[in-house]
Amino acid sequence: MKNSGKKSIENDLWIAYCAFHLGDYKAAMEEYEKMSKHPKCDLHIYTNLGCCYFMLGMYKEAEAAAKKATKSPLQTRLLFHLSHKLSDEKRLVELHSGLDDVVEDQLSLASIHYLRNHYQEAIDIYKKILLDNRDYLALNVYIALCYYKIDYYDVSQEVLAVYLNQYPDSATALNLKACNQFRLFNGKIAEAELKTLQDLASPSFTYARDLVKHNLTVFRGGQAALQVLTPLVDVIPEARLNLVIYYLKQDEVAEANELMKDLQPTTPQEYILKAIVNATVGQEQNSKEHLKAAQHLFSVVGGSASECDTLPGRQCMASNFFLLKQFEEVMIYLNSIKSYFYNDDVFNFNYGQANAALGQYKEAEEAFLMVQSDKIKRSYIFLSWLARCFIMNRKPRLAWELYLKMETSGESYQLLLIIANDCYKRGLFFYSAKAFDVLERIEPTPEYWEGKRGACVGAFQMVVSGHEPKELLRDIIQMLQNTGNPQVEYILRAMKKWAKDNRVVLY
């Protein structure tokens, strides 16, 4: 039509219309801009131009164009969407009241509900429209997407199947089906669903290629995340969030913080991820400012009417109280969702810490021992809490073995201090003596000698009373002989005399 040689406003309108519906909004915009310069331009052109600007993310330009247009239902809908994008709440309410009970206006209202995370309200509108218009099959995709957003993945699949039965090659529907499979099962099954999308050649599906690449990276656990997600950060909203998750998993906290620091969260997922990044930075840098920000963000999600009874909402409230060190409240929320996270390493790690902080060491030990992640099990926080649980549950040998498996470092030194002092308080004197013995050899101070002396005497008393085997006396004497303090001779004399009187072989 464009090359037919016949120039007319009708031809230009059709060219712009086709370009818009092919997703080529830039080409449509250029056509409408040319038409708008005509002296006798129909003012409805500005509404169409505003729609192009809107789809290109040029919201201020879209608003300026829409205000030049003749009043119409389409203009009202465009301004309604723009008021949401520009966060003009007052204008949004005014335009809402101007919507009619017609399909187009109700679809706009449902989409705004969706964008504002009011998924049930959107579902209600879509279902009402579908009830009167059974042939509007695409509404099943919208309903399925809403159910996906509220974690009803199985219901989403059922609704989606209605559309896929008629249009099995739909890029949008197949992608949503794959996302449901990922949530319900695993990345491998989800990836299989996307195979039919990877070779799509139709220009109308150009947008799907980036979406498929993005989701494949997620389904594969972050494989090629830097190469795939980085260019998509400003294209697909979830790309930024998934790249942040990748950085956190790689312990690249600064990079994660850089991506999130200027983001103003609007969805629960954004609030939660920003809270996690702030909490991680706060703990690494001992920053009260970041920890306070994390606590606030967690409380916003956990206290919201839409999220308070969801799993993420309850996790957020638990995290909020965790940062406030209010562990009794933490346990209320964690116990309410425990059955859903039986094999979740992060949940069991946090559940163990909260129990241990309340002195419930038996439950804490059970939770810690369920953790399978090598990364968590190598962390000092995990090792120190587990060692304390072993000691409080009268299993000091297991705590000592944790120390023996560690490489020599500042953290292994700290673990020795825990074993030495906690075992002493618990009356587990032999392992307290072993820990103080190593500490004294590292740093021969009066404090460590006094600790070792008291622990060795305590362990000797346990042997004398029959609560420890006599064979331990040899190790106790050896530890005392590692010290050059003059008090040693007096203590050794008493121990050796008892050994001789009780026929204990020391050598």
User: Rounded mean pLDDT of 120-144?
Assistant: 96
Would you state the pLDDT for residue 276? 97
C-alpha to C-alpha distance for 401 and 384, rounded to whole angstroms: 12
Whether the pLDDT of residue 504 is over 90: the answer is no
Whether the pLDDT of residue 160 is over 80: the answer is yes
Phi, psi of 105 (to 5 degrees): -65, -40
Would you state the pLDDT for residue 234? 83
Residue closest to 92 by CA, chosen among 103, 108, 104:
108
Would you state the pLDDT for residue 505? 86
421-447 residue pLDDT tens: 999 999 999 999 999 999 999 999 999
> Which carries the bigger pLDDT value, residue 210 or residue 444?
444
Percent of the chain with pLDDT over 90: 83
Would you state the pLDDT for residue 323? 97
- Reported pTM: 0.80
Would you state the pLDDT for residue 3? 53
* Contact of 41 with 13, CB cutoff 8 Å: no
b or e along 445-468 (b: 16 or more beta carbons within 10 Å of the residue's beta carbon)? eeebbebbbebbbbbbebbeeeeb
Whether the pLDDT of residue 104 is over 90: the answer is yes
Query: What does CATH list as the number for 1-99?
Result: 1.25.40.10
Whether the pLDDT of residue 176 is over 70: the answer is yes
Would you state the pLDDT for residue 472? 93
Whether the pLDDT of residue 305 is over 80: the answer is yes
38-54 residue pLDDT tens: 888 889 999 999 999 99
Phi, psi of 254 (to 5 degrees): -60, -40
| DSSP string computed for 356-405 | HHTT-HHHHHHHHHT---HHHHHSHHHHHHHHHHHHHTT-HHHHHHHHHH
Residue closest to 485 by CA, chosen among 449, 433, 439:
449
317-340 residue pLDDT tens: 999 999 999 999 999 999 999 999
Whether the pLDDT of residue 19 is over 80: the answer is yes
233-284 residue pLDDT tens: 988 889 999 999 999 999 999 999 999 999 999 888 999 999 999 999 999 9
Would you state the pLDDT for residue 171? 87
Whether the pLDDT of residue 4 is over 60: the answer is no
To the nearest whole number, what is the mean pLDDT of the chain? 93
C-alpha to C-alpha distance for 232 and 72, rounded to whole angstroms: 36
* Contact of 388 with 418, CB cutoff 8 Å: yes
User: Rounded mean pLDDT of 174-195?
Assistant: 92
Confidence of residue 203 (pLDDT cuts 50, 70, 90): low
* Contact of 340 with 314, CB cutoff 8 Å: no
Would you state the pLDDT for residue 485? 85
b or e along 177-195 (b: 16 or more beta carbons within 10 Å of the residue's beta carbon)? bbbbbbeeeebeebbebbe
Whether the pLDDT of residue 197 is over 80: the answer is no
User: Rounded mean pLDDT of 357-373?
Assistant: 98
Phi, psi of 197 (to 5 degrees): -90, -20
User: Rounded mean pLDDT of 178-184?
Assistant: 95
> In the chain, what are the domain boundaries?
1-99, 427-507
C-alpha to C-alpha distance for 365 and 390, rounded to whole angstroms: 7
Percent of the chain with pLDDT over 70: 97
Would you state the pLDDT for residue 506? 83
Confidence of residue 209 (pLDDT cuts 50, 70, 90): confident
* Contact of 307 with 268, CB cutoff 8 Å: yes
User: Rounded mean pLDDT of 479-484?
Assistant: 91
